[in-house]
Amino acid sequence: MFGKHNRAGACSALEARLEDYVEGRLNEREAEEVEIHVRSCARCTEALRHSRISVELFRALKTRPAPSPNPFFVSRVMAAIHGEQRDQDSWKPVERAAWRLCWVATVAVLVLAFFMLRIHFSPPAIAPSQQSQVQALVNVPVAQPANQDDSVLLLASDDNGR
């Protein structure tokens, strides 16, 4: 029932009821369930101890009057806020320049990638002198078919012209 533990150390089902248990707001059955579980779970025992300390500290703070702030408190806080705003405002031009540089770099990379791909996938140009050398090596006459029937015959023949 109380098997899952959270970061604070108490079981998740019990954690929500610890403060109510310490302040006596649980009915008898719920209080008895908490007591039985706390006896068998070291983590919940520790969480209950911390909960009791917290409740006692809050009760002690409620009985004391709140101290009055220093007369210069408001002006010091406002000066600190304005100082932080000035610090943030002084970085705005640098931030804008950095974003512009980022966009320019992105566009430059895209343009470079486009040209690199274009160069990579474009067929190499063969000079006419090289073409005649290739034809001499292969010894295959290059002739365009005269009509559609020649095209079909050319496609149907094998490498030896049959």
> Which residues in the chain belong to E strands, given as ranges?
none
Higher-pLDDT residue of 1 and 16 is 16
User: Which of 5, 12, 15, 25 lies closest to 50, judged by CA?
Assistant: 15
pLDDT at 2 over 60: no
Whether residue 41 contacts residue 18, with contact meaning beta carbons closer than 8 Å, is answered with no
Whether residue 30 contacts residue 17, with contact meaning beta carbons closer than 8 Å, is answered with yes
List pLDDT tens digits, range 76-86: 888 888 777 77
pLDDT above 90 coverage of the chain, percent: 11
What's the pTM?
A: 0.36
List pLDDT tens digits, range 83-108: 777 766 677 788 889 999 999 999 99
Neighbours of 95 (CB within 10 A): 10
Neighbours of 54 (CB within 10 A): 13
pLDDT at 1 over 50: no
Q: Which of 63-67, 91-95, 148-152 has the highest mean pLDDT?
A: 91-95
Distance separating alpha carbons of residues 57 and 75, to the nearest angstrom? 31
Whether residue 51 contacts residue 25, with contact meaning beta carbons closer than 8 Å, is answered with no
Residues 6+ positions from 51 with CB-CB distance below 8 Å: 18, 19, 21, 22
Residues 6+ positions from 23 with CB-CB distance below 8 Å: 55
pLDDT at 23 over 80: yes
User: What integer is the mean pLDDT of 10-27?
Assistant: 82
